[in-house]
Amino acid sequence: MSLAVLKSRALTGMQAQEVTVEVHLANGLPSFTIVGLPDTEVKEARDRVRAALQNGRFEFPARRITVNLAPADLPKESGRFDLPIALGILAASGQIPADELDRYEFAGELSLSGELRPIRGALAMTYAMRNSSAAAGRQRAFILPQANAAEAALVMDAAILPATSLQQVCAHFAAPQGDDRLARHHAAAATQTALPRYPDFAEVKGQLHAKRALEVAAAGGHSILMVGPPGTGKSMLAARFPGILPPMSDEEALESAAVQSLTGVFAAANWKTRPFRAPHHTASGVALVGGGGNPRPGEISLAHRGVLFLDELPEFDRRVLEVLREPLESGHITISRAARQADFPARFQLVAAMNPCPCGYLGHSDNKCRCSPDMVARYQSRVSGPLLDRIDLQIQVASLPRDDLLRQADGVASAAIAARTEQAFVRQHARQDKANHALSPAEVDAWCCPDPDAQELLRNAMARLNWSARAYHRVLKVARTIADLASADVIGTAHVAEAIQYRRALQVQ
């Protein structure tokens, strides 16, 4: 047999498209050619595969070797094609049987000794393989490096066969019924049942108003901005925010883990842990939304189904902040380049913090602000009106009295707050099958109807505060969440009044 055909996967953003690896051996001067739009890493597979085969005591054919990675117009990158290329050469030269190859998919980078090294995006590829297998009505097993087995096995119903070396994979095909067959890897029970650990809200002294606002934000999936002097606990509150979010469903955890897998930093021990990303204010727009010649996810995608915390919000470059506007609305980001386009999910909760003025002490009870009105206006205007309009809750975090700081922390534990947010979250999904923040305008009209007194209060607030249509809808969504926390079917005056208070922390001129 001079032709072997195997299956693998190529990553394009979050999409892991199927790639057919065709290996053909022909007579002629010895050569090794890889075609099908490979990048430099894939072309270098020629040297890695040759050395791995020779050091593994296999025969490297002295023939004209052509490797085609189809479809030809799909860019191929990384060393994940080393393993299928090596196996294709062995199958085409008759050194291993080729009957079972169509029942598997392969990915793995080879060392010169033939050992398998971990690859990036194993979970995303396994996720795509399971979905495509289900759609086609047939299931393939996935052979990949041992180091990637734990994350790949998180995809339920996926057959994962980890291996440590090329020799072990070849032994699997050479012994159809023997002990050398690769064993299926299952997710560890500890990984399936472990509960994520977060810092506790009980450690935060005072700040009852801020804690209440964060509870509302967690219950409805709303974004929030905290404005206050330095040292009032804004960063401390934000770090504890993931601990009061509703628990992740299996599908949400899988989506989040698949994005993390694209960067090669996901650990199976973090399964079902809400991501918490806190980029420095010097981060660029590409770092925030993703990009590059071969597009990679940015901070907003790495925070998918979790929290994106932007501390010192006005210190970010204004053009960087503006890139958040579309993802906050749509929940995804499309990165377009001349040669390719990649889509990444970006359904994150924005938690931002800022000082009220350049010196930070505007409105402080003890320290006197040294900033002029013009300086304050310029500082606050670094956060644009359109971006601020997309932030559901905007609250003041006041400085604590000295007596409160000297007392022992006696706040409500995160577990108690999380129980309330989960109850409200379940209530929302039973009613509308989504969180309140994700309601469309038509759904807002259907599910967020205040009673007549609350409607009148809302009408007066709109007239006095000059809200946009977006701000009006967001206040209604927040009021709906407050009503859900109170187990109320109808939005009342108290719910609307509280929601209105969460839109008055900062007015950018």
pLDDT digits (tens, 9 = 90+) for 19-39: 999 999 999 999 999 999 999
Domain ranges of the chain: 3-187, 201-501
CA distance 120 to 494: 51
Short-list 196, 95, 97, 183, CA closest to 146: 183
Q: How confident is the model at residue 495 (pLDDT cuts 50, 70, 90)?
A: very high
Q: What is the pTM of this model?
A: 0.88
Q: Which two tokens stand for residue 324?
A: 């958040």
pLDDT at 136: 67
Concatenate the DSSP letters of all residues of 152-168 into one string. HTTSTT-EEEEESBHHH
CA distance 141 to 173: 13
Phi, psi of 127 (to 5 degrees): -60, -45
Q: Rounded to the nearest 5 degrees, what angle is found at the Cα of 462, between the Cα atoms of 459 and 465?
A: 145
Answer whether residue 379 shows pLDDT above 50. yes
Cα dihedral sign for 266, 268, 271, 276? negative
Concatenate the DSSP letters of all residues of 144-204 into one string. EEGGGHHHHTTSTT-EEEEESBHHHHHHHHH-TTSTTSPPPP---HHHHHPPP----GGGS
Least confident of 90-94, 289-293, 362-366: 362-366
- Residue spans of alpha helices (H) in 263-371: 285-289, 299-302, 318-322, 325-330
**Hey, how many other C-beta atoms are within 10 angstroms of the C-beta on 425?**
23
Instruction: Give me the amino acid identity at 43.
Output: K
pLDDT at 322: 93
pLDDT digits (tens, 9 = 90+) for 284-337: 999 999 987 778 899 999 999 999 999 999 999 999 999 999 999 999 998 887
- In CATH, what number does 3-187 get? 3.30.230.10
* β-sheet bridge partners, residue 8: 19
CA distance 271 to 284: 29
Answer whether residue 180 shows pLDDT above 60. yes
Distances (CA, A) of 92 to 175, 197, 412: 18, 51, 66
Q: How confident is the model at residue 506 (pLDDT cuts 50, 70, 90)?
A: low
Q: Which CATH class is domain 201-501?
A: alpha beta
